[in-house]
Amino acid sequence: MDLNAIAHTLDEAQAQARETEQLDAELHIDQAYEIQSKILAARTERGENYIGPKLGFTSKAKMEQMGVDNIIVGFLTDSMHHAAGEPLSLEGLIHPRIEPELVFKIGQEITPTEGEGAEELATRLREATTHVAAGMEVIDSRYKNFKFSLADVVADNTSAAKFIVGDWQEFPREVAGLDVKFLIDGEEVGSATTDAILGNPLEAFNQLAEMILKYGFEVPAGAIILAGSVTAAQWLKPGQNIEAHIEGFEPLQVTIAG
Ligand code: OOG
Ligand code: MG
């Protein structure tokens, strides 16, 4: 399997907003992470800056919606950031969906030390976290019909397309058990508590630590980490008004242009 060629195909599909075929069923998950890092290298080469990792499939709602059963990690770059309050254009996207997330901000660079275990690394990640915010992620699988295997979606940078971050609150603060309501045009399309994320969103640090040790994800100073969607994702259409309400946070709202 030519991992460089696959990375190139997926990178082009994203850049040109074109659907592409699912990958070889034989593709191993480790190879999928290799493809993903090649895509990051290509995007960095084009001038994008790495911002931090994003977790996916940390809630049952998401795993069930997409028919997968494992946590995944992707990368965020500065070009994926969409300023809160600005209308969001769907141009350059294939078949975008949107989902409500919790976002953590890490104050200092965290790299695993020699022989460090996941538990210790997770504690350091949590202790280095300075802020938390309500967020939304726009996902846009590059695969036809938004259908993929676990290895497919990992190779495709976990469908990452855009992310929006609401007002930062200082961390530590309570992040477990908060009510979440997801609305489109004023109608509730999803509701849960933040515990939908791994039973407690703080568990995201443990999962991330394990993935860092396994696949080498970087956490630079000021890194932004998406903990994963709380509810199932919703299709985006021009003209919609999307709201994510997380108890104790300013409601986060975005209007879709068109
Ligand atoms: C993959 C991305 C999953 C999340 O928050 O669970 C994800 C997808 O659903 O296409 O970002
Ligand atoms: Mg997500």
pLDDT band at 106 (very low <50, low <70, confident <90, very high): very high
Tell me: the pLDDT tens digits for 164-202? 999 999 999 999 999 999 999 999 999 999 999 999 999
pLDDT of residue 122: 98
If you search the block for the tokens 């069923």, which residue do you land on?
Answer: 25
When pLDDT is averaged across residues 90-95 and rounded to a whole number, the result is: 98
Helix 29-45 and helix 3-15: axis angle, to 10°? 50
Closest-lying ligand to the alpha carbon of 233?
1
Return phi, psi of residue 17, to 5°. Answer: 50, 55
Neighbours of ion ligand 2 (CB under 5 A): 137, 229
Tell me: the pLDDT tens digits for 215-236? 999 999 999 999 999 999 999 9
Q: How far is CA 73 from the centre of its chain?
A: 7
Share of the chain above pLDDT 70, in %: 100
Judge whether 223 and 232 are in contact, CB under 8 Å.
no
| Residues lining ligand 1, Cβ inside 6 A | 56-57, 62, 66, 99, 137, 139, 141, 153, 158-159, 228-229
Tell whether omega for the bond before 172 is within 30 degrees of 0, i.e. cis.
Answer: yes
Q: CA-CA distance, 236 to 194, in Å (whole number)?
A: 23
Domains of the chain: 3-256 (3.90.850.10)
On whether the pTM is more than 0.95, the answer is: yes
pLDDT of residue 112: 98
Helix (H) or strand (E) holding 124: helix 118-127
pLDDT of residue 137: 98
pLDDT of residue 255: 98
